[in-house]
Structure 1
Amino acid sequence: MSHIFPRHSAQSYPVAVGGEGCYLIDDTGKRYLDGSGGAAVSCLGHGDPDVTEAIKAQLDQLAFAHTGFFTSAPAEALADLLVEHAPDGLDRVYLVSGGSEAAEAAIKLARQYWVEKGAPSRSRLIARRQSYHGNTIGALSAGGNEWRRAQFGPLLLNVSHIAPCYEYRLREAGESAEAYGLRAANALEEEILRLGPDTVMAFMAEPVVGATAGAVTAAPGYFKRIREICDTYGVLLILDEVMCGMGRTGSLFACEQDGVAPDIVCIAKGLGAGYQPIGAMLCTAQIYDVIAAGSGFFQHGHTYLGHPAAAAGGLAVVSAILQRGLLPRVQEKGDALHARLMEQFKQHPNIGDIRGRGLFRGIEIVEDRESKAPFDPSRRIAANIKKAAFEAGLICYPMSGTIDGKHGDHVLLAPPFIISDDQLDELTDKLSQALNAVI
């Protein structure tokens, strides 16, 4: 009998005992193709010797030093490397232990910035429906996934949510993609004006929406207009790249492809590639300087901030992404995965949309392609696809509630950057087998 508190008490889980490249192996010897990198985490695959050696070497030298007393060489080196390759203006790195912590830190920094700048009335955060920013109270408040929020509603912060940029569902007939992107972005300006510009501290969004909606990319021009609106009203732009960043979409930071630079960006998952729990919040020099010239103290913190072994792992991961030519490979293999998904599912009567960037792809499942009508939630399509795929030896990331938190299903794919063409074939074949078995 296990004393582990599992994610789901009615489910039994195999014991993972090994990892080899794009595969995980359980204690019976069964191999599972990691088609989603866990949750878009394992970008380098499993068993990368350079990363594990870097962590071992750091543990031999120094395992832990609390950041209330010390900094460390790997933390400094990782921060330098991230800033060197970050969008313009990002200058400071706050190392944490995961994505939820990064989002929480971003929200609190935005608030403290305005307090120290002498504008304490700016306390409102605007985010988007059908978004996901983490599971701490602050991050969950920012997220727009109604299913995740529902039972915790009385505990959540007062965050405004505007419509997502979700072209497949919300673009009107006859409307160009550019016109839709502008219309979707202008919802932010409307909400700022409704709340009062002097009350809004920040807007938070994922450049490519991950778990909640399944690799939804923004319409052309959307984020450039968002940046303009934030600049007009003095609102900070927080971009959550926890899932879509660190090379996952084909550039180190996903927002590079939208031609914008945020005031604050959150990263995690691919930053540590699963080898260590690590995340980071990056902010501009302008934000940092306001804190430094004021109290000098960011009133936040966790025990394992800037953990030396985690930082050493993150440094090895980012170095590998940059030095091994993995960003162009993500673009190449992402195109190859998209082509295979189109070949396998373009004419499928229950696939409504195939979308994404790089090795971050999603397929939206519908009961009827013409009307885009979703399956009844009682069918548990996503959960059953996950189960069928796992039985077939494929790890993928299906989710329900794609449309409004209750209706709609999708499958998110985020395989390791090292995936081969043969493994792409295996991925799409096993996904097709699972989907057809369920539907």
Structure 2
Amino acid sequence: MTQATSAVLHRDTRFVPRKAIGGKGIYIFLEDGTKFLDSTGGAAVSCLGHGHELVNQAIIHQLNQISYCHTAFFGTEISEELAQFLVDSTDGQLSKVYIVSSGTYVFRPTQPKNHFLEAALKLSRQYFLELPTPQPQRTRFIGRIPSYHGITLGALSAGGHVLRRQPFEPILAKNTSHVSPCYAYRGKKPNESDESYVARLAAELDAEFQRVGPETVCAFIAEPVVGAALGCVPAVPGYFQAMKAVCEKYGALFILDEVMSGMGRTGTLHAWEQEGVVPDLQTIGKGLGGGYAPCSAVLISEKIVEALDKGTGSFRHGQTYQGHPVGCAAALAVQKVIKEQNLLDNVRRMGAYLEQQLRSRLEEHPHVGDIRGKGLFWGVEFVKDKATKEPFESEAAVAFHVQETGLKPEYSISLYAASGTADGTRGDHVLLAPPYNVTREEIDLIVDNTKRVIDDVFAKVNAV
């Protein structure tokens, strides 16, 4: 980033990022002539890479038909087609779709994640009010530490990300609480089996229901593979089945946030397909529209739809850009490409190759504590001491330095960084999320550049 003048409120008010002027496939082209390797798809968004002609054509076609109409007055064929595609993709196990196309707050109007998470929270509450025997006492949500579900106040309250919550704690909702994540690298005890670990986490969730009053809980919410908050951490086998069983025991809803891990990122279209569970509500985004236009959605189970239908018949929530035709056209085109080109098979094959290469090149590095993930969604956690898993102090900003080093022209690679991995404030990781149509040659290039960045960063860290 360079120091300059800009009217845009950038993420860092003291710097203006270099400008992107084009993109094709896995590359972004910058104004200074740099060919930048977008190995993370931004924030695990660009699942088909950049400049995909079929998607571009679908967007242009929709613009030539109608670019916008308000859903209070009209529906569109493209929103119906997308919704039916998504329902069919669940084999009808989730029967309706609520589609949104922008964020809820003024500073980042193109980020859809928060709006549909807010919708899921509100729909959970309304479900219990719409039952034949209403349960108005259900006002609470249980999430996990250090989960991240969005930056708006409701979504931030539901999440347990310490650093993101910290400045806003006084104005966050007080009706949420949090339990431990399924994070085997740091959470499992020595010699503890997966079964025992799952049982311990299920008992913790059960105890939290009891602590707050099981009759007061609307829902439990979790990511099938934790994205930015922990760096691509999958659950151990049986975990989500156990969590859903606790929810069912107390009549609460089971929400899965598949914003980053869903829509093919982990090797199946829906991450829950690999977990042996079906959520009551599922949030999807990023890989839904692949970044070609803002689009996200909530997939809804029939029992919730039925409660609304037999009750007021109206979801008390709405948004100006809800079901935006251009967003729907982009999303449907992206999903058709994934299906027709059998890209989920490539996700699984190239994901296995990416794992193999990361482990062979990085696993022995003295500051790489863990490599984990699924499909084309992989994280690398850094530690100060490999044997004890001690993290670097937060002041060292290791993950940030890895990300910033990758942005330099001599590396030109995106490495999506986050901190707070170990205890909410300490701990560093980066994640990789290449497009679903990535090749072996591109995987090799990603891993080569990643290793160069990590080696160079830690050579400087160790020299201090």
Following TM superposition, by how much is the alpha carbon of 1:197 offset from its aligned partner in structure 2, in angstroms? 1.3
In structure 2, the residue matched to 1:256 is: 273
Partner of 1:415: 434
Identity %: 46
1:61 shift after superposition: 0.4
Match of 1:140 among 136, 141, 156: 156
Which of 157, 165, 168 in structure 2 is aligned with 1:152? 168
Task: Specify which of 404, 425, 439 is matched with residue 444 of structure 2.
Answer: 425
Deviation at 1:178, TM superposition (A): 2.4
2:6–2:16: 8 Å Cα contact kept in structure 1? Answer: no
Aligned pairs (5 A) from 1:36-47: 36-47=40-51
What's the secondary structure of 2:95's corresponding residue? strand
Q: Distance in 1 between matches of 2:387 and 2:303?
A: 49
1:358 to 375, 379, 382: 375
The 8 Å contact of residues 181 and 218 in structure 1, kept in 2 or not, is answered as no
Q: Which consecutive residues of structure 2, in runs of 5 or more, have no partner in the other structure?
A: 102-111, 459-464
1:376 lines up with 2:376 in the alignment: no
**Corresponding position of 1:216:** 233
1:161-172 pair list within 5 angstroms: 161-172=178-189
1:71-90 correspondence to structure 2 within 5 Å = 71-86=75-90, 89-90=93-94
Determine the structure 1 residue equivalent to 2:106: none
Deviations 1:305-364 (A, max 9, x none): 000111011100111111110111100000000001001111111011110000000011
Match of 2:117 in 1: 103
What is the TM-score of this pair, normalised by structure 2? 0.93
Distance 1:236 1:7 in 2: 35
Q: What whole-Å deviation, never above 9, does each CA across 1:249-292 have from its counterpart, x for those lacking one? A: 00000111111000000000010100000100011111011112
| 1:18 aligned onto 2:34 | no
Match of 1:114 among 94, 104, 128: 128
- What SS does structure 2 have at the residue aligned with 1:270? coil
1:189 match: 206
In 2: Cα distance, 1:365 partner to 1:340 partner: 17
Amino acid at match of 2:412: G
Q: Distance in 2 between matches of 1:379 and 1:140?
A: 26
After superposition, residues 56-71 of structure 1 pair within 5 angstroms as 56-71=60-75
- Deviations along 1:171-227, whole A, 9 cap, x unmatched? 001101222122123211111111111111100000000001000000111001111
CA-to-aligned-CA distance 1:395-438 (integer Å, 9 cap, x gap): 11011111222100001111111111111111111111111221
Q: Deviation per CA, 1:65-93, whole angstroms, max 9, x where unpaired?
A: 10001110110000000000126521000
Aligned residues of 1:130 and 1:403 also touching (Cα < 8 A): no
SS at match of 1:412: strand
Amino acid at match of 1:435: I
- Distance in 1 between residues matched to 2:382 and 2:191, nearest whole Å: 24
Give the letter aligned to residue 394 of structure 1: I
The amino acid of 2:442's aligned partner reads Q
CA distance in 1, matches of 2:319, 2:50: 28
SS at match of 2:182: coil
1:406 equivalent to 2:419? Answer no
1:330 is matched with which residue?
347
Q: Is the 8 A contact 1:87 1:256 kept in 2?
A: no
The amino acid across from 1:108 in the alignment is: K
State the SS of the aligned residue for 2:123. Answer: helix
| Matching residue of 1:92 | 96
Task: Kindly report the root-mean-square deviation, in angstroms, between the aligned alpha carbons of the 2 structures.
Answer: 0.9
Please state how far the C-alpha of 1:242 moved relative to its aligned partner: 0.5
Q: Which among 178, 196, 206 is matched to residue 179 of structure 1?
A: 196
Structure 2 residue aligned with 1:125 = 141
SS at structure 1 position matched to 2:143: strand
> Could you report, residue by residue, the CA deviation over 1:77-123 in whole angstroms, capped at 9, with x for unpaired residues?
00000000126521000001221111110000000111122000011
Aligned equivalents of 1:69 and 1:135: distance in 2? 30
Per-residue deviation at 1:296? 1.4
Helix, strand or coil for the counterpart of 1:90?
Answer: coil
1:134 and 1:416 map into 2 onto residues whose CA distance is 23
Give the Cα–Cα distance (whole angstroms) in 2 for the partners of residues 101 and 56 of structure 1.
Answer: 26
Aligned counterparts of 2:80 and 2:422: Cα–Cα separation in 1: 42
TM-score calculated relative to the size of structure 1: 0.99
Q: Which residues in structure 2 correspond to 1:264-413 (within 5 Å)?
A: 264-391=281-408, 392-413=411-432
Partner amino acid, structure 1, of 2:118:
E
Match of 1:32 in 2: 36
Structure 1 segments (4+ residues) deviating >2 Å: none
Q: Residues of 2 paired with 1:111 and 1:120: CA distance?
A: 8
With 199-208 and 87-96 compared, the bigger mean Cα shift is at 87-96
Letter in 2 for 1:271: L
Contact 2:265 2:287 in 1 (8 A): yes
Aligned partner letter, 1:168: Y
Q: Distance in 2 between matches of 1:24 and 1:395?
A: 10
Q: How many residues align?
A: 439
Partner of 2:105: none
SS in 2 for 1:126: strand
